């Protein structure tokens, strides 16, 4: 008989990510404190793909940093699978806009790195890394260096690099913003294809509402800063698998876009007004 211990993840009703009243302030130039995000309360269930949108500078990256454990909330808490996060979040991978490949290492060495750091023997790490390079169509480029690849290919290496270590949570901060439109759509489709076969929880920050709706199960709208908070949560009930080439033209997509944009637009306008007012001071 095998005895299985239910993981924390399997416990009923425990979200993968829980922010409770999370507030983060920063020292401002004047010696006062600037409140970037205030009282952010948000539960994200395991396996969900949640997109976070909001005006630029509202605090989206700050929230991801807190969930990654790179930054502590000034007050409030972050819980990961029901446990209060202290220090780096060991269950999360973090993908940024700029890829973080080491230029002096080959593609396969970059992909293996996370496994090597976890003590996986080289041979095993290489085999797992190669399997992921196959998966993202880059096996023939395993021995190239990052500078020999296009932006889209480097992004695929980054995805392989993170997926190979099998994190339960993927935090993505505008990961495709620097790519041209076509490459970007291809990467979005690949991301969905890989994610759909997993139970990974994704928190995806983007300033692009179309991208948010096309990818996510839910779109969270943040208000203009300072003291940004969650002002809307919208379920994206578009069926999966999604055809990202055409989805933006579907009537229900447009309906959702109209509904969410009307909320986001208010915040974008507020944000513009506030930065113009600051410019006049
Ligand atoms: N380390 C920091 N020190 C001081 N201010 C910061 C720091 N990080 C972020 N901020 C400020 O907090 C606000 C939110 O920033 P950020 O989370 O990067 O916004 P977003 O990702 O939504 O564009 C901004 O006004 C930014 O200047
Ligand atoms: Mg940001």
Render the burial of 242-263: b for 16+ CB within 10 Å, e for the rest.
bebeebeeeeebeebbeebbee
Virtual torsion, Cα 87, 91, 96, 101, nearest 10 deg: 100
Asked whether the predicted pLDDT for residue 9 surpasses 70, the reply is: no
For residues 63-79, give the mean pLDDT: 98
Q: What is the pLDDT of residues 88-133, one digit of tens each?
A: 999 999 998 887 899 999 999 999 999 999 999 999 999 999 999 9
Q: In this structure, what token pair is assigned to residue 253?
A: 């997509």
Across all residues in the chain, what is the average pLDDT?
93
Beta strand 201-205 with 17-27 is unpaired
Give residue limits of the domains in the chain.
Answer: 14-91+170-269, 101-166
Q: Is 57 in the pocket of ligand 1 (CB under 6 A)?
A: yes
The rounded Cα 139 to chain-centroid distance in angstroms is: 25
In the prediction, which pLDDT does 5 show?
Answer: 45
pLDDT bracket for residue 159 (50, 70, 90): very high
Q: Dump pLDDT digits (tens) for 200-213.
A: 999 999 999 999 99
**Cα 169 off chain centre by:** 9
Ligand 1 contacts CB of residue 61 (under 6 A): yes
Tell me the pLDDT band of 281, cut-offs 50, 70 and 90. low
Residue 32 burial (C-beta neighbours within 10 Å; 0-12, 13-18, 19+): exposed
Q: Please provide the CATH number assigned to the domain covering 14-91+170-269.
A: 3.40.50.300
H, E, C per residue of 31-80: CCEEEEEEEEEEEECCCCEEEEECCCCCCHHHHHHHHHCCCCCCEEEEEE
Q: In this model, does residue 8 exceed pLDDT 50? A: no
Which protein residue's CA is at the shortest distance from atom 12 of ligand 1?
A: 36
What's the whole-number mean pLDDT along residues 249-262? 98
Confidence of residue 237 (pLDDT cuts 50, 70, 90): very high
Is 60 touching ligand 1 by the criterion CB < 6 Å?
Answer: yes
Top mutation candidate among 38, 59, 70, 278 for ligand 1, by most atoms within 8 Å of CB: 59
């Amino acid at each position: 008989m095998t005895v299985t211990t239910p993981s924390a993840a399997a416990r009923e009703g425990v979200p993968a990510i829980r922010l409770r009243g999370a507030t983060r302030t920063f020292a401002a130039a004047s010696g006062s404190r600037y409140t970037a995000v205030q009282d952010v309360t948000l539960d994200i269930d395991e396996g969900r793909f949640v997109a976070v949108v909001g005006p630029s500078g509202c605090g989206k990256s700050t929230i991801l940093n807190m969930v990654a454990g790179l930054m502590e909330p000034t007050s409030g808490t972050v819980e990961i699978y029901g446990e209060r996060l202290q220090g780096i979040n060991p269950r999360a991978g973090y993908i940024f806009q700029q890829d973080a490949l080491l230029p002096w290492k080959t593609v396969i060495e970059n992909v293996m790195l996370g496994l090597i750091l976890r003590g996986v023997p080289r041979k095993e790490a290489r085999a797992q890394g190669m399997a992921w390079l196959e998966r993202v169509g880059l096996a023939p480029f395993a021995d190239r260096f990052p500078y020999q690849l296009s932006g889209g290919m480097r992004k695929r290496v980054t995805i392989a690099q993170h997926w190979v270590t099998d994190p339960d949570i993927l935090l993505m901060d505008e990961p495709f913003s620097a790519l041209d439109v076509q490459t970007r759509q291809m990467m979005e489709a690949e991301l969905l294809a890989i994610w759909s076969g997993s139970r990974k929880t994704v928190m995806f920050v983007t300033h692009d509402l179309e991208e948010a709706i096309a990818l996510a199960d839910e779109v969270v709208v943040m208000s203009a800063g300072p003291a940004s908070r969650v002002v809307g949560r919208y379920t994206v009930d578009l069926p999966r698998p999604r055809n990202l080439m055409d989805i933006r033209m579907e009537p229900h997509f447009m309906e959702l876009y109209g509904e969410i944009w009307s909320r986001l637009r208010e915040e974008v306008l507020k944000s513009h007004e506030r930065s113009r007012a600051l410019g006049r001071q």
